[in-house]
């Protein structure tokens, strides 16, 4: 079925207005951002909201800015906007690496960061990235806002902590000096969803003579990693010297702890193998960037 069922349409003009509309129309209403996930689901009748609350007219949700020591990214920022942002790329090259391989220009021109996270597709790239860089999601309700670490944002496939009457408004990422980050993805063809993907960020200990990892973040997409991250590999890396051997071992640990499923994109063993290899490569590039050896 390629035709959605009847749906009412409301256009929100502010966050408060969107929250009022969500409260008025209840749990059968849905927020419409870029619509690249929601509209196809409606066409297939996998989603049948009674009312769409269009948030595209809310101007305050589309900015990318530094505030204090945080990078702030509005929920309505489009993929293309994030890819174009020198500020985002300067602090977290992993964001640009990932955005270059998400979908195609048509989807990237309209699909949003907030919609991607709220869709919570297990193969979604940005959840892995924002998990790796330890972002916090700001969720607004009628009684106020709450901040939830992205690592606690997903409850399972297609399910998040955002309640039906709430709005994801912003992602906040703490900036720390001495870091480098990178994203590596394998897809069957250009613009496709991941077969497997890994994002890494590492910070080096400035006090140590030989480069040593003081903190690491590793995000995984499409391979059944809990909360899109590889915590065991992160724990292993903390305090280790920067070396190919350590990164290969961390990749192995990430592969051992993920739970990929066989599907049309490949068998589980292949995805597990990719997880190890892509984690190792992402860590290597992140370290090179932290050492100023790669842009
Ligand atoms: C052909 C194609 C290829 C793609 N390839 C990739 C890929 O390789 N990697 C990848 O990661 N993604 C991929 N995507 C997904 C793409 O990134 C979409 O943009 C994204 O899934 C949804 O963003 P959206 O703004 O379109 O959200 P929408 O479709 O508008 O909304 C998605 C869901 O989130 C909810 N929602 C949206 N915004 C908010 C908010 N601020 N607060 C609360 N709830 C909200 C909606 O109610 C809905 O349930 C692809 C999509 C297509 C169509």
Confidence of residue 25 (pLDDT cuts 50, 70, 90): very high
Same domain, 192 and 152: no
**Ligand 1 atom closest to Cα of residue 31:** 47
Same domain, 101 and 82: yes
Tell which of 149, 174, 199 closes a domain: 174
Confidence of residue 295 (pLDDT cuts 50, 70, 90): low
Among candidate residues 203, 202, 207, 185, the one with its CA nearest the CA of residue 194 = 185
Same domain, 189 and 278: yes
Between 27 and 293, residue with greater pLDDT: 27
Tell which of 142, 174, 206 closes a domain: 174
- Does residue 41 lie in a domain region? yes
CATH (domain of 69)? 3.30.465.10
Q: How far is the CA of 106 from the centre of ligand 1 (A)?
A: 13
Q: pLDDT digit string (tens) for 100-128?
A: 999 999 999 999 999 999 999 999 999 99
Nearest residue (CA) to ligand 1, atom 20: 116
Same domain, 34 and 70: no
Structure tokens at 124: 């979604």
Among candidate residues 87, 86, 59, the one with its CA nearest the CA of residue 74 = 59
Ligand 1 in reach of 38 Cβ (< 6 A): yes
Question: What is the CA angle 235-98-94, rounded to 5?
Answer: 50
Tell which of 125, 142, 174 closes a domain: 174
CATH (domain of 39)? 3.30.43.10
Same domain, 230 and 285: yes
Ligand 1 in reach of 36 Cβ (< 6 A): yes
Among candidate residues 166, 182, 185, 188, the one with its CA nearest the CA of residue 223 = 185
Q: How far is the CA of 193 from the centre of ligand 1 (A)?
A: 12
Q: Which residues of 254-279 are buried (b: 16+ CB within 10 A; e: fewer)?
A: bbebbebeeeebbeeeebbebbbbbb
Same domain, 138 and 200: no
Structure tokens at 4: 């959605």
86 burial level (CB within 10 Å; 0-12, 13-18, 19+)? exposed
Check: CB of residue 136 under 8 Å from CB of residue 82: no
Q: What's the structural domain count of the chain?
A: 3
Same domain, 122 and 194: no
Q: pLDDT digit string (tens) for 163-204?
A: 999 999 999 999 998 899 999 999 999 999 999 999 999 999
Structure tokens at 86: 């020198």
Residue written as token pair 């009674």: 50
- Does residue 3 lie in a domain region? no
**Ligand 1 atom closest to Cα of residue 162:** 43
pLDDT of residue 2: 81
Residue 36: which residues within 8 A CB-CB, separation 6 or more?
A: 103, 107, 110, 111, 115
Ligand 1 in reach of 119 Cβ (< 6 A): yes
Q: Where on the phi/psi map is residue 68: left (φ > 0), alpha (ψ -120 to 50), or beta? A: left
Q: What is the domain range of residue 40?
A: 8-54
Q: How far is the CA of 246 from the centre of ligand 1 (A)?
A: 35
CATH (domain of 231)? 3.30.390.50
Q: pLDDT digit string (tens) for 235-292?
A: 999 999 999 999 999 999 999 999 999 999 999 999 999 999 999 999 999 999 998 8
- Ligand 1 pocket test, candidate residues 119, 121, 137, most atoms within 8 A of CB: 119
């Amino acid at each position: 079925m390629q035709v959605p069922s009847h749906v009412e349409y409301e256009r929100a003009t502010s966050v408060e207005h969107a929250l009022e509309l969500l409260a008025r129309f209840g749990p059968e209403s849905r927020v419409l951002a870029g619509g690249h996930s929601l509209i196809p689901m409606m066409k297939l009748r996998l989603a049948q909201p009674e009312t769409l609350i269009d948030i595209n007219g809310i101007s305050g949700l589309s900015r990318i800015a530094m505030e204090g020591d945080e990078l702030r990214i509005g929920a309505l920022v489009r993929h293309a906007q994030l890819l174009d942002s020198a500020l985002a790329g300067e602090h977290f090259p992993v964001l640009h690496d990932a955005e270059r391989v998400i979908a195609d220009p048509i989807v990237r021109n309209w699909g949003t960061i907030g919609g991607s996270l709220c869709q919570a597709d297990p193969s979604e790239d940005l959840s892995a990235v924002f998990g790796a860089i330890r972002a916090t999601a700001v969720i607004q309700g009628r009684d106020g806002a709450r901040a939830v670490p992205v690592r606690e944002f997903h409850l399972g496939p297609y399910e998040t902590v955002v309640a039906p009457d709430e709005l994801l408004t912003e992602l906040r990422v703490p900036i720390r000096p001495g870091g480098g980050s990178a994203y590596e993805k394998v897809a069957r063809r250009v613009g496709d969803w991941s077969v497997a993907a890994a994002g890494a960020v590492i910070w080096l200990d400035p006090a140590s003579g030989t480069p040593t990892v003081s903190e690491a973040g590793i995000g995984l997409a499409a391979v059944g990693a809990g909360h899109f991250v590889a915590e065991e590999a992160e724990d292993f890396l903390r305090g280790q010297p920067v070396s190919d051997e350590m990164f290969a071992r961390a990749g192995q640990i990430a592969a051992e702890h993920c739970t990929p499923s066989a599907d049309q994109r490949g068998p589980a063993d292949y995805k597990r193998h990719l997880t190890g290899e892509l984690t190792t490569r992402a860590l290597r590039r992140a370290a090179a960037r932290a050492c100023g050896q790669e842009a």
